[in-house]
Structure 1
Amino acid sequence: MAQPARSSDLLDAARSGAGEQELLDLDLPSTFRAAYTLKDEVGIFDGHTDKDVRRSLHVGEVAMPELAPDEVVVAVMAAAINFNTVWSAIFEPVPTFAFLEKFGRQGWHGARHDLPYHILGSDAAGVVVRVGSGVKSWKPGDRVVISPSYVDEEDHGSYDDGMMSETQLAWGFETNFGALGEFCIAKANQLIRKPAHLTWEEAGSNTLCAATAYRMLVGKHGARMKQGDIVLIWGATGGLGSYATQLVKNGGGIPVSVVSSEEKAEIVRAQGCEHVINRNELNLGEQGMRHPKAGRILGEAIRRLVGEDPGIVFEYLGRETFGASVYVAKRGGTIITCGSSTGYKHEYDNRFLWMRLKSIIGSHGFNYHEAVEVNRLIGLGMIHPTLSTVFPLEEAGEATRAVQTNQHVGKVAVLCGAPKEGEGVTDHALRGRVGETRLNLFRR
C-alpha cells in the first residue's frame, strides 16, 4: 500500500467551492484515503457462517492512478453503500479481484485496475478536479453525481443500449478506483449534474438504485409501466423498493408494497402508497414466502386491497419470493427481476407462467440515458432521496455491515470528503418547496 500523505489542499478547495483555475493550480495528491479490500485476504471467511465485512474492509492511503484521456478525477464528497459492496467484501459469488484481473488484460488503461487492493463503491457525489485530454463537456469545479455504468463507447453494442455492450462493467465493483474514497476515477460518460437542492450525502445515494428501478419500470427495456397498472413491490423500504414506490406512484400506477414491519409500513404510506402488505401478518410460518400456499395467500391479500392481480411484479429478492411472484402476476403479466439477494436458484411452478402467458424480464443496471433521466426527476424534486443513515469514511466497514445485516431502511451513505452532513445545497428555494419532511422521510 502507498505511504500516508499530508492533507490535500485540492480536496479542501473542492469542498469550499473553488473555481476551475484555482483547482488546476493545485497539485493532484499522490495518495488519498479510501476503503478497500485486499487480494491476499480472499478466503478469510472460508468455514465461517458470519462473514462480517468489518474484517475485510479497510480504510487507508492508496495511490492516485494515472488518468486516461476519457476519464476524470472527482473529489468525492459522499458515497453510498450498495449490495455489490457487500458482495465484494465477502468475496462472493466470486472475488472481485477476478474482474480486475480480466480488466487488466485490456491494455494499460485496464492494467491500472489490476492491483492487490480494490477500492469499492458504486454511488458518489462530488466535484470534478481533473479531466483527461479527451474530455469535452466537463471541467474542474463541476458538481456531479456518478453513474456506475462503465461503458466502452467504442463497443458497437453501446450505441443500441449501453447495457447490451459486452464490455459493460459495474464501476467500483468490476473496476477499481470506486466511490468510497476522498477521490475517485470515472469515465466522463458516467457524470451527471448534481441535483442542486440536495446535500452531498443525499445526492450521492440515489443513482444506482433509482436508475435500476427506472429501467425496470419506466424505461423501454423494462416492464413499460402505464397509468393504472397495479405493481407489486417487494422490499418496499429497501434501496430499490423505496424508489420503485415513488416511480409507480408518480407514473400513475398503483403500488402494492410488501414490507416486514409496521414501522416500515408507515414509511411507505408516508410516500403516498395506500396499499401495503406486512408479510409477517400473512401467517406463513417458518417457511415464509416459500410456503407451498404463499402465492395463493399473497394473491388473496392483494385482491382484497385492489380488487385484481398485479400486472407487474418488481422482483429483486430472488429465491425467497420468486415462486410467489410468478403465481400472483395476472394473466399476461410481467415479472421483472434485477437480482436475487436471497439466493440465485429460483423455484416456481412453470404452469402458472406458460398457461397464463406471463413474462419474465431480466433487467440489469441501466444505461447512461436512463441514469440522466432519473436524476432529472430527482433534480426537479419529483423523486426524493431515501437516505436513512450516514457514516464517516473511517466507518465504511460499519456502514457496509448495516446493509449486509439488513439493519437499515432506504439508503446508507458515507461522508468521504465532506466534513459534515448538510452541505452541498445550492438551490435552497427548491429545497424549501420540496420540504424537509419529504427529503428526510427515511431518517425519522
Structure 2
Amino acid sequence: MHDIRAIRENPAAWDAALSRRGAEPMSSQVLALDEARRAAIHAAETAQAEQNKASKEVGKAKASGDEAEFERLRALVGQKKAEVADMNEQAKALDTQLTDLLMGVPNLPLATVPDGADEADNVELRRWGTPRAFDFTPKEHYDLPGVLTGMDFETAAKLSGSRFVVLKGAVARIHRALAQFMLDTHIDDNDLQETWAPVLVKPEMMYGTGQLPKFGEDSYETTNGWWLIPTSEVTLTNTVHGDTVEESTLPRRLTAHSQCFRSEAGSAGRDTAGMLRQHQFEKVEMVTICHPDACEDEHDRMTRCAEAILEKLGLPYRTMVLCTGDMGFGAQKTHDLEVWLPGQNAYREISSVSTCGDFQARRMNARFKPEGGGKPGFVGTLNGSGLAVGRCLIAVLENGQQADGSVSLPEALHPYLGGKTRLTAEGTLA
C-alpha cells in the first residue's frame, strides 16, 4: 500500500509514477477522500472538546440552582455526543474507502525500471550458457519416449480436469530430486532458512501480499473462507504480518518447497499442451524480509541465488528486467529468469525475483524497531522463485534429450537419484 503522506507531499510525482505503469492519475481522488476523512476527524475532535467543556459546566449549573442553564447544557452535551458519534462514523467510513482505494493501486516502479507496455519491451541483462546444437529435431517434454509413461495427463483429466498432471515412476523421482536439490542449495550455499508452512491462509494474508482484492479470480477460495496459496510468498512474507521486529533480526532469508494453486484466469488457449501451465504445481520459493535500505542489494543477491540453480543444472538461461507494463502488482522491480527450452526453440520464464520495498509491509503493518532507537519503520520485502519445479523438470528433460529417446540427467541430480545418470527411452532410471 502507499504512504498517504508521500502522496500529499508530491501528488504530481505519484501520478507520474503510476502513469509509467499505464495507470490513470489518482492523486486528486485519493487526496479528496483524505481531506474529507481528516475534516471528519477534526470535526469529531472539536465536538468532543465542546462536549467535555459542557459536561464540566453542567455540574456547576446544577449546584448554582440555575435550572434553565442546567437543561441547556445537558441538551448541548447530548447534541455534541451525537455529533462526535456521527463524525467518527463518517471518518471511519471515509478511512475504509481510502484504504480500499489504495489497496487497489499497484506499487510504483523504481527509476531503474525500463518503460514499456508489455513483455516485448523487457530488457535483457545477461545470458549464461549456450543452447545445445542438436543433430536431430528436439522434442517437447511430453513427446519424449522416456516421459510418455511417467507424465499422465489422461488420468489427471479424469481425476481433476484439464491443466493437471499425474507424475509416475522415474519422472516423479526426477521431479522430487529437483525440489530437494533446490532446497539443499538454498540452505547450504545461500544461507536461507528452510520453512514449512500451510497452503491454506486467511484472506488478510492474501491482502497483505497483494493477491487481494484485485486478483481474487486468479486463486482458489474454499467454502469456509480460506484461500489456497498461489505461491509460498504469501505465507513466508506474512510471517511478520502485524509484527514489530528487532532490526538486529534482519535480514530474514527464508525458503520453502510447497504446492501452489492458480486458476490461470485469462490464460485460455495458452500453453495447453504439457505441464508448462498448471492449476497445481510445486515451487521452491525465496523470501527476504529486510531493512528497506537493503532491498536493492538483496534483489541482486536473490537473483544470483536463482541463477546459480540453473547453472548447477547446466541449463542455458537469460536474465531479463521487466518493463513497467509487465511487472506484477506489488513489485517495484522484477528480474525474470528465462530458461532455454529446445522443444519450443525459445526461452521461457522459470523464475521471477521482485523487490517490493515497503509496499507489502504497509499492507501487513509489518515494522522493525531501529537498533539505535527511534520510531519503528516498515520493513522491506522481496520474493522470488528458486525455482518452479515443474518448469525446471521440463527444461532438464528437453535439454538432456538424446537421439535414442533417452535423457541425460544433470550431474547435480545424480546423488539424489541413487547415482543414476539418465532416463532411458523405456522410462526407467539407469
Considering the TM-score relative to the shorter chain, is it more than 0.5?
A: no
Query: Which category describes the TM-score, using the shorter chain as reference length?
Result: under 0.3
Q: Relative to total residues, which structure has the larger helix share, 1 or 2?
A: 2
TM normalised by structure 1 equals 0.20
TM normalised by structure 2 equals 0.21
